[in-house]
Each structure stands twice: as C-alpha cells, then as structure tokens.
Structure 1
Amino acid sequence: MMLDKRAQILLKTLIEQHIYDGQPVGSRTLSQSSGLDLSPASIRNTMKDLEDLGFITSPHTSAGRIPTQLGYRLFVDSLLTVKPLDDKAIRSLKDQMNIGDNKKIISNAADILSTLTHFAGVVLIPKAKKTTFKHLEFIGLSEKKILVIIVTNDGNVQNRIVMTEKHYTHDDLVEATNYFNHNFSGNTFAKVKDTLVDELSKMHADMIKLMTAAIEVGNDVISPESESIVITGQNNLIQSEELAKNISSLRKIFEIFEKRTALMKLLDQSQLGEGIQIFIGNESGYSSLDECSLITSPYETDGEIVGTLGVIGPTRMAYERVIPIVDITAKLLSNALSQH
C-alpha cells in the first residue's frame, strides 16, 4: 500500500520511537523527532489516516499511538534501515563459531543468536543423509560375547559388543559375516530389516538371533536418535516487557518450544524462501506466536541449503539490529560447516 513521503517518515519515526521505549507515541514527540516542519494539526491528520489504514492504533489509556502488525510489516518491508555489524564483531563471532565438531558449531550458533539479541535462538539441524553400510564383520571375543564391526559407506567405522545366549564358533561367525555382506551390502539397516524378515524362515534359529542382533546394533550406529532442533535463550522472553504482561500468552510460547513440532515445521517451511524471512505475529500461522516475530535465514553446507536458523522475540524488537545478526550468523555457520 503506497503512502506519501510524509506519512512514511512519520510512521517510521513512530515505530522506531515505540521500539526504543515501548510507549505510545504522541504528536509532540513526532514533531520533535521526525525532522518534518509540520504543524501539530497536520501530524494529527496524518496519524488519523495511518490509523484508518490499519498501520497504527491508539490504546484506550493513551492519546498516543502504537504500531499494529500491519504497521510493522510495512516498516520491515519498506522503511527499515538495517545496521550491519562491524568487522570486529564479525571476527569475534567467527572465532566463537569455529569451535568443536558440527554439533557443537550448531549449538554455538544458537547461543550466539540468543546472546546478541536477548531473545530465543533456534537452529533447525540438518536432516541426516541416508547412510548405508559397506561392510559388517562378526568377531568372537569370548564364549558368549561378539564384536560387531560396521563400516558405513562414508568411511565411518563403529564397533559394538553383542552378548549372546549361546556360543558361536568361528565358522558360524564367518558364515554370518559372508551372508550379511553378500546379500545386504550397500543398503540401509532399515531396508535390511525389511528384507531379512522374508529370509528368516530359511535360517536356523541360532543364525536368526545373530542376524537380529546385527540389525539392532546397525540401527543404533547408522540412525542414532538426536534432537532435530536446538533452542537457547527461551528464558530471555520472560524478561520481555510485552510478553511478560500476558502469562497465558507466554505459557503458549513455551509450549511451542516444548513440543517443537510446530516450530520445526515453520523453520522447515521458511527454508524454501531465499535469504531472510520475517514472520510478524499471526503471519506464522500459529496462534502461540501471535505476539512474537520470527526472523529466519537458511544456512548451507558446500552450497546446499541444509537447515534454518532464527530468532524469536516480541513484535516490538529492534529489527534493524536483529536482522543482520541472523543474516551473518547464517553465513558464518555455513562457512564453518563447509570447512569441517
């Protein structure tokens, strides 16, 4: 929706002032801060027009105005002046990011987001690629203890010890090893499990137990259970003046953090967009976040988008500061993961 230059300046000034102090903004403040040479009557008329268009609203207890979700949307889309981080800050973030393995790097990214913004930082962890096993071997350690060695297609080697009810001879273990590798090498253990169900009737009982044990430890190695999302700084939202006023709303926000499914879906959807995505209030599609804004950005590994990170805070946030933090954190995370 097009606004004339004067209305744009007044709306921008009003939103920036409200973000700064959280108070409704009156005509006198706008006259002093906007830099426009307008009479109080002209400012009031423009404010009335902006209110009629749905960009601002007047709380019952004040003569001043505050921005609506529609006002914030126009602000971030057309009026916002972003404040990029300086080189020193970026170098500091890069040093913090490049610590530990990939799991630690992702955790560091979430910590950076929450620490710098004082809101909640979230990172959607990359979906694990389907890993297959290349080679499996059974080695007897003692009468009822067997070492299972699993080599995956990406060169990862894992060892697991299986306790058995009976003693398997060396020949038994060689037979099982050869059978497994000949029939199933190159498959995921999930597929092996499905296929093996049809084969079990052809094996004797002792071999069935050994094959079943192999599948169980294989699933543990190749498909370990792990969190799909990292969330840090949730308690920062308790300190938010806007959110703390409404305990019921705050409880709903924490429920979405606890259940995670809806948040993961939202982050997954935002991954389809290019660059920074901003969801203000009910734009997220989840009533639990009606009083929040979510700023996200996808991140990459070797040029391929693998996940999303972002910040959740109140709609009254310093967008000009938070947006570049999300943007540079995504870029630094991409670089760090690509180098590991």
Structure 2
Amino acid sequence: MAQPIHELTDRARDVFRIVVDSYLSTGTPVGSRTIAQLSGLNLSPASIRGVMQDLEEAGLLAAPHVSAGRMPTESGLRLFVDGMMHAMEPSAQERAALSAQVQSAGPVEEALAATATALSGLSASAGLVLVPKREPVLRQVSFVPLSADRALAILVGADGSVENRVVDLVPGTGSAALAEAANYLTARLSGMTLGEARARILAEIGQERAELDATARVLIERGLAVWSEDGGHRPVLIVRGQARLLDEAASSDLDRVRQLLDELEGKEEIARLLESAQGGDAARIFIGSENKLFALTGSSVIAKPVRALDGRVVGVVGVIGPVRLNYARVVPMVDFTAATLARLLG
C-alpha cells in the first residue's frame, strides 16, 4: 500500500516529483546524482539517496536494477496523478486541430475516425472513440443481382454513408422484381431510420396495403430481416495510431508491444473497458495493472464519457499508451475532445 500524499515531507514530495517528471519525459530511471545536478534542491546525492530509499520503502519508487536509479511504481504514478499533477490545457493550435476534425463534412464515422487520428497525433498515443451504433436516416435503397439466388442490397444514408448487405433471392427473381422492391422501399423510407421504416413497411405488408407482387414482397421482408440482424446495438469502436505505441522505449520489450497490438485488434474487450468509464463526468485513468486487459502490457488508458446537453452518455473518447504517458498534458486534451464530440453526437 503506497503512502498517502499528505504523509510525505516537503523534501520527499520534491524528490518524488522530480523522479516522476523525469521518468515521464525519458522513460528511464533517474539517479540521485542527476537529481542533485538538475533539481536545484540544494541537497547532496547522499541525502537524495536517503529520501529515495524512503520513497521506495513507501511503495512509491522502485529500482529496476541493483545499481540503477529509481522510477515510479504504478502506485506512485497513481499518487502523482491523483494528488500532485498540474494539468496543462491544450494550446490554441491543438484545440483548433481537434475541432477541425470533429466539424469536418461527411458521414459521422469519418469525423470520428479523423478525430481519433488527430487525438493520437497530439497525444503520441493510440486514439480511441467508442459510440453506439447509429442508425442512419435513410435516403435510398437499391438491389444489384450477384447470382441467380443472391443480390446485394445497397442502403444510402442521408449523410452520404453507404452500407451493403447480401440478400438471398427467391428462385426466379428477375430484375423487374428487384427494381419494384427498391422503388417501393425508397419511396416509403426516405427520411426515416431503419427501425422506423421497417415498422411501417411490415405493417403495410401485413395489412395487405402494399401494392407488390409476391416475389418483391418476399425480397423486402428478407432484406429488412438482414438489416435488422446486423447487430445494430453493438458499439462502434474506432482505434487510430497503433503505430505510435512502437516508440524507442518499447523496442526493448517487443513481446509486450505485440501483445498490446493483439489486444487492440480484439476490440470487444477494449469496448467493455471504455464502457466502464461511462459513469461520472471526469476522465478515468487506468494505470498499468489497474485494468485486467492491459495488466501484462504495462499500458495506461485515459477515457472520458461524451455527454449530450441532456446528460445522456453518447460515447467515450480516450487514448492508450505506455504508463509513462504525459498525464498532465493528455488528460485535458481528452477532456477537450469529449466536449467537442458532444456537440457532434448530442
């Protein structure tokens, strides 16, 4: 159990802060002689070694090798983040860069992907955006034959997004039936979400108010079934900037980095981790083994819920990087990104 911040002496706090700042900047342990030369504490290396020994016994510092300097433990980083960190607000240029991506024209997912990429670049980490699956407002549907028994249903959203699904055909379905089904759907679904269109069209078919031949009717029912079984309730997770995890410090531990990249490919677990950050308003910081998913890879995650004006959680934004993330800089950047995305998703 790490020692509480209020129990540290002023001298211990000063030395501890210098060790943490140095480690977050370089990723390497720092020795007493270096601290004595650079800190301006007016302490001898011997005195600093004594303080560092006390901090090590308190569980805040560790020595990776017998003759090496000290570096913060995960408990030490948690103490620093919770009690000593001074946040650095994003610069005007950084805020402008993030806002430009969020406000870019085009489908929402493209704006989200661009935002994750911008956040990755500015934080030197991998950028993450998690949002619920959004039902597009529909504009047009068409069917393109693929073979005698299959067709491609193409759905165009009002925002310009395009999604495709393969639909099984009734034997003998001709181009006239495909065109009839497409025209019927487009005429009745324009301006609706898929759920709204499905309810309306199935009601018309059930009440036999739909002026369709039997083949077109079956095609529409199958098409709607395929769209509805699409897993529309699964969240959309966008990860950008994985290559930024391959920094110089990672070169000595490639197995850890490979495992981390593998875990980023398995998006379901990361989505669950981000979803756990939806409670509360502040950014959540998971340091190293504090989250089971990345316990073995020495990674940290900073995640912030995106809330609409009415308080609803409409997404989560964050970054993942090494435990030596520049928390003071990245946490406010994630906060700003969440506030900016709220205007897009709300």
Deviation per CA, 1:10-43: give whole Å up to 9, x if none: 1111110122223321112223344433343332
Q: How many aligned residue pairs are there?
A: 308
Q: 1:259 aligns with which of 255, 266, 279?
A: 266
Distance 2:301 2:294 in 1: 13
- 1:171-210 matches, cutoff 5 A: 207=214
Deviation per CA, 1:186-234: give whole Å up to 9, x if none: 87859x99xx9xx9xxxxxx85x65542233224556656872111111
Q: 1:23 aligns with which of 20, 28, 36?
A: 28
Residue 105 to residue 56, structure 1, CA distance change in 2 (3 Å): same
Matched, 1:115 2:134: no
Matched, 1:321 2:329: yes
Contact conserved, 2:98 with 2:119, CA < 8 A, in 1? no
Tell me what 1:272 maps to. Answer: 279
> Secondary structure of 2:276's match?
helix
Deviation per CA, 1:283-304: give whole Å up to 9, x if none: 1122465411111111134442
Distance 1:292 1:317 in 2: 9
Tell me what 1:299 maps to. Answer: 306
- 1:209-224 matches, cutoff 5 A: 211-220=217-226
Matched, 1:50 2:55: yes
- Bigger drift between 285-294 and 270-279 goes to 285-294
Q: 2:15 aligns with which of 10, 19, 23?
A: 10
Distance 1:238 1:132 in 2: 40
Deviation per CA, 1:257-291: give whole Å up to 9, x if none: 11111111101111123221100001112246541
Distance 2:119 2:94 in 1: 13
- 1:71-220 matches, cutoff 5 A: 71-100=76-105, 101-128=107-134, 165=172, 207=214, 211-220=217-226
Q: What TM-score results when the alignment is normalised by the length of structure 2?
A: 0.73
Structure 1 letter corresponding to 2:287:
I
Deviation of 1:59 after TM superposition, in Å, equals 2.0
Tell me what 2:71 maps to. Answer: 66
Q: What TM-score results when the alignment is normalised by the length of structure 1?
A: 0.74
Contact conserved, 1:126 with 1:307, CA < 8 A, in 2? yes
Distance 2:282 2:248 in 1: 27
User: Cα RMSD between the aligned structures?
Assistant: 4.4
Residue 274 to residue 252, structure 1, CA distance change in 2 (3 Å): same
Structure 2 letter corresponding to 1:105:
A
Identity among equivalent pairs (%): 32
Gaps of 5+ in 1: 137-147, 153-157, 200-205
Tell me what 1:143 maps to. Answer: none
> Secondary structure of 2:69's match?
coil
Question: Which has the higher Rg, Structure 1 or Structure 2?
Answer: 1
Deviation per CA, 1:86-112: give whole Å up to 9, x if none: 234323321232112311111111111
Deviation of 1:53 after TM superposition, in Å, equals 1.3
Distance 1:61 1:246 in 2: 20
Tell me what 2:318 maps to. Answer: 310
Structure 1 letter corresponding to 2:123:
T
Deviation of 1:70 after TM superposition, in Å, equals 0.8
> Secondary structure of 2:67's match?
coil
Contact conserved, 1:59 with 1:65, CA < 8 A, in 2? yes
Contact conserved, 2:259 with 2:297, CA < 8 A, in 1? no
- Bigger drift between 252-261 and 214-223 goes to 214-223
Residue 287 to residue 53, structure 1, CA distance change in 2 (3 Å): same
Residue 296 to residue 109, structure 1, CA distance change in 2 (3 Å): same
Tell me what 1:203 maps to. Answer: none
Residue 74 to residue 239, structure 1, CA distance change in 2 (3 Å): same
Gaps of 5+ in 2: 142-152, 158-162, 189-193, 207-212
- Bigger drift between 281-290 and 259-268 goes to 281-290
Contact conserved, 1:296 with 1:326, CA < 8 A, in 2? yes
Distance 2:196 2:344 in 1: 31
Deviation per CA, 1:138-190: give whole Å up to 9, x if none: xxxxxxxxxx9x9x9xxxxx9x99965368x99xx99xx9xxx9xxx987859
> Secondary structure of 1:124's match?
strand
Contact conserved, 1:132 with 1:188, CA < 8 A, in 2? no
Residue 118 to residue 289, structure 1, CA distance change in 2 (3 Å): farther
